[in-house]
């Protein structure tokens, strides 16, 4: 497999039908997903047309979603694309318009710790750097630790480093080892797909197929594996073709996580980024974890080679973390 094949946007002339093998994740992977799917549970009120709603303050600034404070205006309905290939071509064109950007914002982390009934909650300041098509860096600060949460990727690898004592963990994976989306909800894949860079394993032996249907104001693209099981579903607003919702499915075909996107901001011609991201996941014990982030102004920012070396490489000081996991054949393995 080519090192960067997972990050190449679909070719405008040849839209690949790729497959991916789905395997059951291990408990570390499930813990990883539960943990990271909690990084943004506050700051901001929006519905995105999918039923998310008002905020209530809890404790020192932690806010939980409760229901829309006001009825959102009905979305204008525009004609959708005729075929899945045409829809993917449109997303590919947007991805090719992507440019390097930087942004800051506010975020929160709410996660469940094993053997504890109540979730942990932290408010965070957040820094985001994106260098398409594959380089992502996200940093969240808690209290005096500006790098309490660090997530990133380059063409070959992705990682998540978590410093808070109760969850001190470091995850490192090679993109070519990914077999399932299990455990990758905080993956850079979500960030890339949020801006229209649909990550597809072009050189995988098994090919998954995309289908298209219209649902109100949305074009709905669904990718299925060789058994016909849904793997990923994109809800795209037909009027501007921004992705407003992404559903990720577990190996049994059940929805494992939902990402909702809104507040798109034009950064360059043909390229928009969401400024509000909300992710909700369901744990094996049926408890719901949620993530929210609000991004401020997104600014075009070219990165020097030195900056790229510092931002888009895995952390080297592993002594800070109590648990270290590596991805092996699609499963997180404790080192």
For position 56, what pLDDT does the model report? 36
Task: Tell me how far apart the alpha carbons of residues 151 and 36 are, in angstroms, rounded to a whole number.
Answer: 10
Domain at 5-43+78-334, CATH from 1.10.357.10, 1.10.3720.10, 3.30.70.270, 2.50.20.10: 2.50.20.10
CB within 8 A of 198, min separation 6: which ones?
9, 10, 88, 91, 92, 95, 234
pLDDT at 96: 87
Closest CA to 79 of 70, 71, 87: 87
pLDDT score of 187: 64
Q: How many CA within 13 A on the CB side of residue 37?
A: 27
At residue 55, the pLDDT reads: 35
State the residue for tokens 């979603």: 65
d(CA 161, CA 177): 19
pLDDT value of residue 144: 81
Q: Cα(266)–Cα(289) distance, rounded to whole angstroms?
A: 30
Distance CA 126, CA 233 (A): 28
Contacts with 98 (C-beta within 8 Å, 6 or more apart), sequence order: 130, 132, 133, 195, 196, 197, 271
Alpha helix stretches (DSSP H) within 4-66? 27-36
In 154-287, which ranges are E strands? Answer: 157-162, 169-174, 209-215, 218-224, 230-237, 242-249, 255-262, 265-268, 271-273, 276-282
**pLDDT truncated to tens, each residue of the chain (335 aa)?**
444 444 444 444 444 444 443 344 444 544 444 444 443 333 333 344 443 333 333 333 333 333 444 456 788 999 999 999 899 889 888 888 899 999 999 988 777 766 677 877 778 899 999 999 889 999 988 878 888 889 899 989 999 888 887 778 898 988 887 765 555 446 677 777 776 677 554 433 344 589 999 999 999 999 988 888 898 899 999 999 999 999 988 888 888 888 899 999 999 888 899 999 888 777 767 777 777 889 998 999 999 999 999 999 998 888 889 989 988 877 788 88
pLDDT score for 180? 56
The structure tokens listed for 160 are 């998540």
DSSP track, 128-189: EEEETTTEEEEEEEETTEEEEEEEEE-SSEEEEEE-SGGG-EEEEEEGGG---STT-TTSHH
Give the CA angle between residues 141, 143, 149 to the nearest 5°: 30
Domain ranges of the chain: 5-43+78-334
From residue 212, alpha-carbon distances to 10, 85, 220, 226 in Å are 16, 9, 6, 17
Instruction: Return d(Cα 65, Cα 46) in angstroms, integer.
Output: 10
User: What's the CA gap between 240 and 243, in Å, rounded?
Assistant: 9
What pLDDT is recorded for position 239?
95
Sequence-separated (6 or more) residues with CB below 8 Å from residue 56? 63, 64, 66
């Amino acid at each position: 497999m080519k090192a960067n094949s997972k990050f190449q946007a679909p070719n405008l002339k040849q839209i690949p039908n790729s497959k991916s093998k789905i395997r059951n994740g291990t408990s570390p992977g499930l813990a990883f997903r539960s943990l990271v799917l909690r990084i943004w549970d506050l700051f901001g009120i929006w519905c995105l047309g999918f039923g998310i709603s008002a905020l209530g303050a809890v404790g020192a600034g932690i806010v939980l979603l409760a229901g829309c404070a006001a009825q959102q205006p009905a979305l204008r309905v525009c004609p959708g694309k005729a075929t899945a290939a045409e829809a993917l071509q449109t997303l590919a064109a947007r991805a090719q318009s992507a440019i390097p950007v930087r942004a800051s914002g506010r975020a929160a982390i709410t996660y469940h710790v094993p053997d504890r009934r109540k979730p942990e909650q932290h408010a965070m300041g957040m820094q985001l750097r994106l260098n398409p098509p594959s380089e992502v860096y996200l940093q969240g600060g808690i209290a005096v630790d500006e790098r309490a949460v660090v997530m990133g990727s380059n063409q070959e690898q992705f990682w998540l480093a978590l410093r808070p004592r109760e969850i001190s963990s470091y995850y490192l994976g090679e993109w070519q080892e990914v077999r399932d989306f299990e455990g990758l909800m905080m993956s850079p894949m979500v960030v890339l797909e949020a801006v229209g860079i649909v990550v597809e394993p072009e050189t995988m032996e098994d090919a998954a197929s995309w289908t298209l249907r219209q649902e109100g104001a949305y074009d709905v693209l669904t990718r299925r594996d060789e058994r016909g099981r849904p793997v990923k579903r994109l809800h795209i607003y037909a009027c501007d073709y921004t992705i407003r919702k992404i559903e990720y499915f577990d190996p049994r075909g059940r929805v494992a996580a939902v990402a909702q996107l809104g507040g798109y901001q034009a950064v360059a011609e043909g390229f928009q980024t969401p400024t509000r991201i909300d992710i909700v996941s369901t744990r094996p014990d049926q408890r719901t974890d949620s993530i929210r982030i609000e991004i401020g102004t997104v600014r075009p920012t070219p990165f020097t080679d030195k900056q790229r070396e510092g931002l888009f490489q895995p952390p080297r000081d592993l002594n800070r973390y109590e648990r270290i996991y590596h991805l092996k054949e699609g499963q997180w393995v404790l080192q």
